[in-house]
Amino acid sequence: MPTRRKSLLTWGVLAVAVVVLAVAAVAAVRWWREGQRSELQRAVAMAPHEAEQLSWTDWAGVREELGLDLGDDPGDDEIDDMMNRGFDRDLTQTTALAGSAASMQTMLGFSPATAEWELFSQAEKGAVVMVRLAESSDVESVADHLVRAGYDEPDDEDGVWAGGREALVTGGLTPELAYVALDEDRRLVLGSDSPGYLETALKDVRDEDGPDGLDDVVEASDDPLAAAIYTGDHACAKLAMSQADPADQDQASALLAEAGDVDPLTAFAISVRPGGDVRVAMGFESDDKARTNADTRARLASGPAPGEGGDYADFFELGDVTADGSTVTMELEPVEGSYAFSALKDGPVLFATC
């Protein structure tokens, strides 16, 4: 009997050890995967599920690209200078906060000049801007600023703050900051012009599922300074040649017929990378369609740009175009002064048409 009990004890210890190792292995895999995700991927995972258009600005990266260190409490002139320089470099055209930057710093205690990043999500039901505060920032300090700015404090610490006339009119804040919510654990400030939609967005932040269908193009975008990301249906409408005048539409039809098969997009992203180069990522239904469209879209991006005026060569030099699984990426080197990113994130864009 003692021998049997010892044997059972040994097997029990081994079984517990196996379970512990298995749990540790799962935790290690999750930790490794989290470490591989870009900051953009982490932000998109917190966006509202029904978002159709996402606009990303890596404010810490933009400041580094511009060679600026503005400290924790920059003045209005410093903030305005940063915003102007960022605009000139085609880095701030995705923000929802441009007109409020200096006012935000004074009234709310943070702004594009001090925040880590911003993600502006738009859907049919509403829009929400999400700002990640710097590590040195204090969410409680933002709450204190909201009180002084005249916002009505919610009964629940996870509730929605309502801004008054002083903040929005006298203070010059954007309507996207009419209602504000704070997530201390994630160092997030969320704003919207709709309190109901903001409450929905808060729930989605904590679920961390993000919009469907965007994972591949977001991953392909890597760590950009600015990015515009669309679901497939939204991209096919926003970038469509139907926005061009009739003569340009006729030219586009002829160019599409010459280029070959063009399949609908399942997702689209265009981004500015450190150094100024632009990357386009397009999603398709299958690997075969991606390979076909890599060739087709490369031909379209090498010729005339109906609806934009001139040729695409006036905007960028086309680099590598590759298909990786069901995602096609295009590397673009902008022509100096062309504002290629801004020009190509809105339609009509022939090489991104559906």
Domain count, the chain: 2
286 and 175 in a common domain: no
**Residue pair 26/178 in contact by the 8 Å Cβ criterion:** no
For residue 173, tell me if it sits in a domain. yes
224 and 345 in a common domain: yes
271 and 193 in a common domain: no
194 and 69 in a common domain: yes
Which band of pLDDT confidence, cut at 50, 70 and 90, is reported for residue 33?
A: very low
For residue 24, tell me if it sits in a domain. no
Does the pLDDT of residue 91 top 90, yes or no?
yes
CB 259: neighbour CB atoms within 10 A?
A: 20
93 and 227 in a common domain: no
Last residue of a domain, one of 207, 231, 264: 207
pLDDT attached to residue 25:
27
CA-CA distance, 230 to 143, in Å (whole number)?
33
Residue whose pair of structure tokens reads 């829009």 in the numeric block:
127
For residue 28, tell me if it sits in a domain. no
pLDDT attached to residue 37:
86
155 and 251 in a common domain: no
**Residue pair 27/19 in contact by the 8 Å Cβ criterion:** no
For residue 12, tell me if it sits in a domain. no
Which band of pLDDT confidence, cut at 50, 70 and 90, is reported for residue 17?
A: very low
201 and 88 in a common domain: yes
CA-CA distance, 153 to 147, in Å (whole number)?
7
Percent of the chain's residues with pLDDT above 90: 83
177 and 103 in a common domain: yes
pLDDT attached to residue 8:
43
152 and 221 in a common domain: no
For residue 4, tell me if it sits in a domain. no
283 and 236 in a common domain: yes
Could you read off the pLDDT of 152-163 as tens digits, one per residue? 999 988 899 999
pLDDT attached to residue 3:
57
Does the pLDDT of residue 268 top 80, yes or no?
yes
> What would the mean pLDDT of 102-123 be, rounded to a whole number?
96
pLDDT attached to residue 21:
35
Q: Which two tokens stand for residue 302?
A: 């090498």
More confident residue, 158 or 35: 158
Could you read off the pLDDT of 198-215 as tens digits, one per residue? 999 999 998 999 999 999
| Percentages of the chain per state (helix, strand, coil), in multiples of 5 | 45, 20, 35
241 and 343 in a common domain: yes
69 and 200 in a common domain: yes
> What would the mean pLDDT of 115-120 be, rounded to a whole number?
98
Sign of CA dihedral 295, 298, 302, 303: positive
Residue whose pair of structure tokens reads 């339609």 in the numeric block:
347
For residue 139, tell me if it sits in a domain. yes
CA-CA distance, 68 to 62, in Å (whole number)?
9
Does the pLDDT of residue 114 top 80, yes or no?
yes
pLDDT attached to residue 34:
46
Last residue of a domain, one of 187, 207, 227: 207
> Residue 308, SS3?
coil
Nearest CA-CA partner of 93 in 342, 348, 346, 337: 342
> What would the mean pLDDT of 180-203 be, rounded to a whole number?
95
Does the pLDDT of residue 231 top 70, yes or no?
yes
pTM of the model: 0.88
For residue 38, tell me if it sits in a domain. no
Last residue of a domain, one of 183, 207, 231: 207
Domain span at 227: 215-352
Helix locations, the chain, DSSP H: 2-36, 39-45, 59-66, 76-88, 101-108, 139-148, 165, 195-207, 215-221, 232-238, 246-259, 287-300, 340-344
Which band of pLDDT confidence, cut at 50, 70 and 90, is reported for residue 138?
A: confident
pLDDT attached to residue 170:
74
For residue 251, tell me if it sits in a domain. yes
